[in-house]
Amino acid sequence: MKVRQQLNVGVLGVCLLLVLALSNVSAQSATLQPTVTLPDFSQLAEENSPVVVNISTLKKIKQPTIPPQFRGMPEEMLRYFFGIPNGDGQSPHGQMPREQVSSLGSGFIISEDGYIITNHHVVADADDVIVKLNNRRELKAKVVGSDERSDIALLKIEAEDLPVAKIGSSETLKVGQWVMAIGEPFGLDYTVTHGIVSALGRALPDDTYVPFIQTDVPINPGNSGGPLLNMKGEVVGVNAQIYSRSGGSVGLSFSIPIDIAMDVAEQLKEKGRVVRGFLGVGVQEVSGDLAKSFNMERPMGALVTSTGKNSAAAEAGIEPGDIIVEFDGKTIDRSADLPPVVGASPVNKPLKVKVLRNGHYKVLTVKLKSLDETQLAMDEAEMQSKTLGVVLEEVPSKTLSKLNLPFGVGVAEVKKDSAAHKAGILPGDILVTVNFKPAKSIADLLDIIEAAPKGRSIPVRIVRGNRSVFLPLVLN
């Protein structure tokens, strides 16, 4: 009996010790767990709201002129014949009143005397721009300059002693950091939203000159042109785009880095336009398989697919097949890294370009030319066939000779879902004949394409690598 009692006491003692030990462990665990405190954005919002402005634009649309013999006709007749309301509201000259279409956006003040940054698409084609300040004053703004490629516009209002945004640097941003936006989504002025930086240097298909900041900050129509701020209250970006199938925010927002925006604004202020460097190359991404074929340790750089005639690249000795891994001291990790670096580089000054050629690194010196918008548009128009859906390029005579071809036109790009894409034509192919007519030059090929029958299959002879094949092409 005593033994059993002793055993019971012993077991009870052990249990008590275990309970105490576990209690200590739990207490220590509770002590060690960090306290998570979410940031308070109230002070940032209060301090920075005064530098944000609401922007409304008016575009006047001239209505059709009503012929004299039809003036004064009933509303139903005018609507039927001319698509306009009635004759009673006409001007004496038979023109309907000019309709005004408005749009909304945001912006922020960068100088005490009234310079304001916003998006190009907010003020594009506007006849009048009205800026509303935080104190509800409304002022007419002048568009000093607007740059479509960066989607940045610079406005000027006549005012003094305005509150000014604190400008930071997008170079200091890190993925995962908190950011805040102030804007006018759907016309709701001074709306504050927040989120984190999701990615940096994001390339979008139609904006090759801007390495966007991607965030999950809720951005909606009306936020365009407003500031993206870090936790110090510094502007680090200009809110520009969202990715959405519904028209509202789905957590994919894109902002223009403030370093780019300020550089563009400064050029617009000084010159009224933006001067960009132009290298004159076509590039593509280096895939894993391509990296192996080039004996590279990993995919990196921008693979040159073509060089423009008399371009800076051609004059520097850059060749198709070169992989640009460094430009003016800046690492080119992906093909999308190259355009913004080149665009921001000075023209007519010697710059170093590091390329990988035949397994060996080579440093070349290039002098960039200015990206002349008009000339570039002409060159692109001359080099592409919208009917076929390709961008064309000249084929070097050495290449034609090596392939025993008397002539041929190169394919630099193929648009998705185009006639060429559906026919199986790929970038790098050489078009030799279309509908049995020789493609002796780009001009010849464009003429052949435009004259070719539409809506039915025609044969196209291409050379791909060392193989010559025919493909069926249906032009729309």
Active site (catalytic) residues: 121, 151, 224
Going by DSSP bridges, is the β-strand pair 281-285/302-307 parallel, antiparallel, or unpaired?
antiparallel
Distance between CA atoms of 262 and 260, rounded to whole angstroms?
A: 6
In sequence order, which ranges of 368-457 are alpha helices (DSSP H)? 373-383, 397-402, 419-423, 442-451
Q: Which residue has the tokens 């030799």?
A: 432
Q: Which structure tokens are listed for 128?
A: 């009048």
In sequence order, which ranges of 294-402 are alpha helices (DSSP H)? 312-316, 338-343, 373-383, 397-402
Q: Is 122 exposed, middle or buried (CB count within 10 Å of its CB: 0-12, 13-18, 19+)?
A: buried
Q: Cβ(392)–Cβ(409) under 8 Å?
A: yes
Beta bridge partners of 235: 167, 229
- Concatenated DSSP letters for 96-119? PPPEEEEEEEEEEE-STT-EEEE-
Long-range contacts formed by 327-331: CB under 8 A, 24+ apart: 327/351, 327/352, 327/353, 327/354, 328/352, 328/353
Distance between CA atoms of 372 and 382, rounded to whole angstroms?
A: 15
Q: Cβ(66)–Cβ(83) under 8 Å?
A: no
Cβ partners under 8 Å of residue 48, min gap 6:
165, 166, 182, 227, 229, 233
Q: C-alpha distances in angstroms, 228 versus 209, 232, 312? A: 19, 11, 36
Cβ partners under 8 Å of residue 400, min gap 6:
406, 407, 408, 430
Distance between CA atoms of 147 and 344, rounded to whole angstroms?
A: 14
- What stretch of H or E contains 260? helix 258-271
Three-state secondary structure call for residue 129: strand
Beta bridge partners of 277: 370
Distance between CA atoms of 57 and 104, rounded to whole angstroms?
A: 7
Cβ partners under 8 Å of residue 97, min gap 6:
63, 89, 91
